[in-house]
Copies of this chain bind each other. A is one copy, B any other.
Amino acid sequence: MQMLTLGIDIGGTNTAFGVVNEEGVILEQGEMPTKGYAQPEDYVTALYQSVQLTISQDYLSQVKGIGVGAPSANYYQGTIEHAPNMEWRGIIPIGRLIEEQFKLPVKVTNDANAAAMGEMMYGAARGMKDFIMVTLGTGVGSGFIANGNLIYGHDGFAGELGHVNAVRNGRACGCGRKGCLEAYTSATGVVKTAIEMLASDTQSLLHQHQSLDSKLIFDAALAGDTLAKDVFEYTGQILGQTLADAVAITSPEAIILFGGLAKAGELIFEPTRRAMEENLLNLYQGKIKLLASELKESDAAITGAAALIG
């Protein structure tokens, strides 16, 4: 008899779920759409049916608890609150609904916090008690671990490093403010940087494309394109100087980068590390590891959510 957990990753479009063992291995998994359910109750009923159909009863009978990763999630309340990318408005008691349907204990947190827990239990942060997880995707999220615990804050909404000011009066951010880290180091932020740089350039390979994405910029940089390399240099500069300030607050053993941009390897790690070191208080210089996530990206959201169940 194993100690299994069910990890559920609720995205704006799709929901992925899987049964995870104590080593963080997904034994069975499935997915279903998140959209198309008028009420969250209908969605949870469909989720229950989907799990029953996909996961074998033998595994399900061993599940001790359910961890849920969701956007705009409040850990303390087990709610999704005013999520901009979901169909349901207001405050959704998703934890309670799942608990009632599945008759199992449920913990809910946001995707980046779940990723941080996953990294601590199964990934690059094993054995660490103080680290920062930074997820570089469509948005920029973060999870801060201090003394071995997630920092949830008084309201469950701590860890919004993506909305720390990186450039005073800088680029417009989706949140309505200016100069947030997310406006520069998310996938869309990187594309914006490239477009800005292309306006005063004639040489770059990137001019060949009608529309850009971060993968094209990465490929161009690998092919030696100077402008594309400058995009990573600039992005790393902004990321590194913002990380230096976060270090001054929580003094982590490591900062772990996860997500699309992190996969660019030294193209993004080298300028980020350099800018961070240049901006660190001497007390911290040379002491903070900048690491790549060891979670498999497709599995990370499920294993991270599962890691919420100690």
Q: Are A251 and B152 in contact (CB under 8 A)?
A: yes
Whether B250 and A155, one on each chain, are in contact in the complex, defined by CB atoms closer than 8 angstroms, is no
Least CB separation from A168: chain B residue: B168
Q: Is the CB of A249 within 8 A of B248?
A: no
Segment at the interface with B among A10-18, A114-122, A275-283, A294-302: A275-283
What is the CA–CA distance of A175 and B244 in the complex, to the nearest angstrom? 14
Q: Name the residue among A157, A167, A250 with the largest chain B CB count within 10 angstroms.
A: A250
Residue A146 CB within 8 A of the other chain:
yes
Partner of A157, one of B131, B147, B284: B284
Stoichiometry, copies per complex: 2
Residues in B neighbouring A241, C-beta threshold 8 A: 165, 168
A161 at the interface (CB under 8 A from B): yes
Instruction: Give the nearest-CB partner of A244 in chain B.
Output: B165
Complex Cα distance, B91 from A196, in Å, reads: 49
Contact A164 B282 (CB under 8 A): no
Chain A interface, >50% SS class = loop
Whether a CB of chain B sits under 8 angstroms from the CB of A154 is yes
Q: How far is the CB of A26 from chain B (nearest CB, A)?
A: 29
In the complex, chain A residues 136-161 whose Cβ is within 8 Å of any chain B Cβ: 144, 146-147, 149, 151-161
Size category, A interface = 35 or more
Do A154 and B251 form a contact, CB below 8 Å, given A147-B149, A168-B168? yes
Query: How far is B279's CA from A233's CA once the two chains are assembled, in angstroms?
Result: 27
- Determine the chain B residues whose CB is within 8 A of the CB of A177 once the complex forms: 279, 281
A253 within 8 A of B: yes
A5 to chain B, nearest CB (A): 22
B249 touches A161 (CB 8 A): yes
Question: Known contacts A146-B151, A245-B165; is A160 also within 8 Å of B283 by CB?
Answer: yes
Whether the Cβ atoms of B158 and A250 lie closer than 8 Å is yes
Question: Is there a chain B Cβ closer than 8 Å to A130's Cβ?
Answer: yes
27 contacts between A and B (CB under 8 A): A130-B153, A130-B158, A131-B154, A146-B146, A146-B151, A147-B147, A147-B149, A147-B152, A151-B249, A152-B251, A153-B252, A154-B251, A154-B253, A155-B251, A155-B253, A157-B251, A158-B251, A160-B248, A160-B251, A160-B281, A161-B248, A164-B249, A165-B241, A165-B245, A167-B168, A168-B168, A245-B245
Could you list 14 further interchain pairs (A-B, Cβ under 8 angstroms) beyond the known A157-B283, A165-B279?
A147-B152, A152-B251, A153-B252, A154-B251, A155-B287, A159-B249, A160-B283, A161-B249, A164-B245, A164-B249, A168-B168, A175-B282, A246-B249, A249-B250
User: Which 10 residue pairs spanning A and B have beta carbons closest together?
Assistant: A153-B251, A154-B253, A158-B251, A130-B154, A160-B248, A146-B151, A163-B281, A164-B245, A157-B251, A164-B248
